[in-house]
């Protein structure tokens, strides 16, 4: 009897601690407000050694190698009409962590996103975004903050969202000049792409960030290849393996905007 009593006490204590942790994470996420401004580029793998030794045609002020890692992304949408990806919204499970990148759309020349990392915030966003979608007949039910493992079932039950692709990426990350984050990605289906990113704390700093990125990339154009079409991993995957989704994204103008952004020259010279 005592063992059963102790087990119940322990069980309730564990649930309480999980709930407290979940609430703390929720509070942190709601207070954390940041926006990603990023520009993709092609790169020559033979120049990576020059990058890391900082011996390129025009050296950087500082190159710091941060890490090399592998991760797997599973992306979700409604496979009938793709209401997320046709609006440049990217819901994914990266290993065991849920993330939803929502467009800020403050610049026509670069990608700018606000990232949601809490399942409750993601749920609230999806409720609002998909409320007029035929797949959503009612507002979704609540889900505890900490039950990430059950979130997959929750997504399908409430929004009819299911995986449309799984990509494993090998990533090398760098900090350049103590301000620009840069990653070089190679996906498991044979596509490579780089990305320069700045994170800002408010929307009124987004356009300044894109100009700083453009000037930086033009100054070091020996490494950053931006001529022609630069296709990110997801766009490359969808174009190769899901023609229906690609056509839906073309109709919504997402393909045109992402593959043919404003040139770096125009960004630098505009006032």
Helix 119-129 crosses helix 2-31 at what angle (to 10 degrees)? 60
Given this model, what pLDDT does residue 35 score? 82
The class level of CATH for 35-269 reads: mainly beta
Given this model, what pLDDT does residue 267 score? 86
The string of pLDDT tens digits covering residues 88-113 is: 999 999 998 999 999 886 555 678 88
Given this model, what pLDDT does residue 206 score? 83
Helix 151-159 crosses helix 119-129 at what angle (to 10 degrees)? 10
Per-residue pLDDT, averaged over 202-208, amounts to: 84
Instruction: Between 107 and 146, name the one with better pLDDT.
Output: 107
Q: Which of 27-41, 52-66, 97-111, 149-163 has the lowest mean pLDDT?
A: 27-41
The string of pLDDT tens digits covering residues 252-264 is: 999 998 888 888 8
Per-residue pLDDT, averaged over 17-46, amounts to: 63
Mean pLDDT of the chain: 84
Per-residue pLDDT, averaged over 221-234, amounts to: 91
Given this model, what pLDDT does residue 250 score? 95
For a pLDDT cut of 70, what percent of the chain falls above it?
79
**Residue 55 reports pLDDT greater than 80:** yes
| Alpha-carbon 152 to chain mean position | 18
The string of pLDDT tens digits covering residues 171-184 is: 999 999 999 999 99
pLDDT tier for residue 147 given thresholds of 50, 70 and 90 = low
Instruction: Between 165 and 133, name the one with better pLDDT.
Output: 165
CB-based contact 130:136 (threshold 8 Å)? yes
Over the range 19-48, which residues count as b (16 or more CB within 10 Å of their CB) and which as e? eeebeebbeebeeeeebbbbbbbebeeeee
Given this model, what pLDDT does residue 49 score? 95
**Tokens standing for 261?**
């952004």
**Residue 5 reports pLDDT greater than 60:** no
Instruction: Tell me if residue 140 falls in helix, strand or coil.
Output: coil
For a pLDDT cut of 90, what percent of the chain falls above it?
57
Domain locations in the chain as residue ranges: 35-269
Per-residue pLDDT, averaged over 229-243, amounts to: 96
Given this model, what pLDDT does residue 105 score? 67
**Residue 134 reports pLDDT greater than 60:** no
């Amino acid at each position: 009897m005592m063992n059963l009593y102790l087990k119940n006490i322990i069980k309730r204590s564990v649930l309480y601690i999980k709930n407290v942790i979940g609430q703390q994470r929720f509070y942190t996420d709601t207070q954390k407000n940041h926006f990603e401004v990023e520009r993709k580029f092609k790169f020559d793998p033979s120049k990576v050694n020059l990058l890391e030794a900082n011996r390129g045609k025009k050296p950087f002020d500082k190159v710091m190698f941060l890490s090399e890692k592998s991760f797997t992304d599973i992306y979700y949408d409604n496979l009938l009409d793709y209401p997320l990806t046709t609006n440049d919204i990217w819901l994914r499970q990266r290993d065991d962590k849920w993330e939803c990148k929502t467009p800020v759309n403050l610049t026509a020349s670069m990608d700018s996103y606000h990232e949601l990392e809490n399942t409750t915030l993601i749920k609230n966003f999806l409720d609002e975004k998909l409320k007029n979608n035929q797949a959503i007949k009612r507002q979704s039910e609540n889900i505890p903050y900490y039950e990430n493992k059950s979130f997959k079932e929750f997504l399908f039950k409430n929004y009819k969202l299911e995986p449309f692709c799984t990509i494993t990426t090998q990533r090398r990350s760098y900090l350049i000049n103590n301000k620009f984050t840069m990653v070089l990605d190679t996906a498991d289906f044979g596509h490579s792409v780089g990305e320069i990113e700045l994170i800002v704390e408010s929307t009124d700093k987004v356009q300044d960030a894109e100009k700083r990125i453009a000037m930086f990339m033009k100054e070091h154009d020996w490494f950053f290849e931006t001529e022609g079409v630069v296709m990110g991993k997801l766009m490359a995957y969808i174009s190769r393996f899901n023609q229906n989704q690609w056509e839906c994204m073309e109709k919504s103008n997402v393909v045109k905007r992402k593959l043919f952004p404003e040139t770096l020259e125009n960004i630098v010279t505009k006032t």
